[in-house]
Structure 1
Amino acid sequence: MMMSRTEKERTAQIPTASLADIAFLLLTFFLVTTTIDVDRGIGLTLPPKGQEQKIRKENICNVLINDIGQVAIDNQIVQIPMIKDVIKQKITNNPKLIISVKTALNTRYDIYIAVLDQLKRAGATRISIAEPEKIE
């Protein structure tokens, strides 16, 4: 059978008239439903400005972190997971204990945060953060 000339061959077409509207609606939907997580950083409560107070040496515990990530508590090398137990024992023996954390200039940030986390888990509330020494 032959097709008559009056019949046209139908081709599939995708209507594109509302494509821009649909794209705009999708864009609006995702902008409205997406939440943006803001990094808050570490919360520290700083004391008010005032006169310096003399602190007795036995009320200070020095925590030193070197460039390669070793942690020393009062000149004794301690593994990071053990910091909590050591500090908890020291705080139990001396509730007035102040923990002084001092890092080297090139200490890795993740190790510094891990040490602060261990101090928090130990229940240390009096933490002093000392400025790293500058090498000239």
Structure 2
Amino acid sequence: MKLRKTKTIEAYIPTASMADIAFLLIVFFMITTVFQVDKTVLTLPASVVRSEVVKGSAFVVVTEDGYIKVSDGKEDTHPIDASDVLSFAVDLMSKDPEHHVVLKVDKRVKWHVVDKILEQLEQARVKNLQFLTELKTKEQ
């Protein structure tokens, strides 16, 4: 009886789908990444109740020095003059009258500065306004 020599099959790793897997991972991380619109570090006033900020909210930020920065919720904050808050808010409300606006003010800012900004936001007919605060703990 004559035995035939069998072919040996070499082991290999299929790499045809590696590009697909890499593409899916890139898409997954791009979708799940959270972008911060405003990165200004402030000492916020404390409050007993704190609500969550709605995703895509516009920001009006006032630093301790009185600098004002704004964002429409899609782009990073950029500095503006105090008199331009009204035009920013009117433009924002003309696009979406129900757009949420977050007022982020350092607790050391003088109240008259905040009052002027609030008057401008009221003139622009901002309906959904929210103050960003720190949650007050029981020890405070």
Tell me the TM-score normalised to structure 1 length.
Answer: 0.53
Alignment equivalent of 1:114, drawn from 112, 116, 135: 116
Rg bigger for which structure? 1
Q: C-alpha displacement at 1:91, in angstroms?
A: 1.2
Can you give the 5+ residue segments of structure 2 that lack an aligned partner in the other structure?
A: 1-48, 72-76
| Corresponding position of 1:61 | 58
Aligned residues of 1:105 and 1:132 also touching (Cα < 8 A)? no
Can you give the 5+ residue segments of structure 1 that lack an aligned partner in the other structure?
A: 1-48
Q: Runs of at least 4 residues of structure 1 off by over 4 A?
A: none
Aligned residues of 2:60 and 2:102 also touching (Cα < 8 A)? yes
Residues in 2 aligned to 1:114 and 1:98: alpha-carbon distance in whole angstroms: 19
Q: C-alpha displacement at 1:129, in angstroms?
A: 1.1
Tell me the TM-score normalised to structure 2 length.
Answer: 0.52
**3-state SS in 2 of match to 1:128:** strand
Residues in 1 aligned to 2:52 and 2:135: alpha-carbon distance in whole angstroms: 22
Listed as ranges, the matches of 1:41-80 within 5 Å are 55=54, 57-58=55-56, 60-74=57-71, 75-80=77-82
Letter in 2 for 1:71: I
Q: Which has the higher contact order (CA 8 A, sep 6+)?
A: 2
- 1:85 aligned to 2:67? no
**3-state SS in 2 of match to 1:112:** helix
Q: C-alpha displacement at 1:53, in angstroms?
A: 7.5
Residues in 2 aligned to 1:53 and 1:81: alpha-carbon distance in whole angstroms: 29
Aligned residues of 1:63 and 1:72 also touching (Cα < 8 A)? yes
| Corresponding position of 2:103 | 101
Residues in 2 aligned to 1:123 and 1:97: alpha-carbon distance in whole angstroms: 11
Identity of aligned residues (%): 12
- How many aligned residue pairs are there? 82
Q: C-alpha displacement at 1:121, in angstroms?
A: 1.0
Q: C-alpha displacement at 1:99, in angstroms?
A: 0.9
Aligned CA RMSD, in angstroms, stands at 2.6
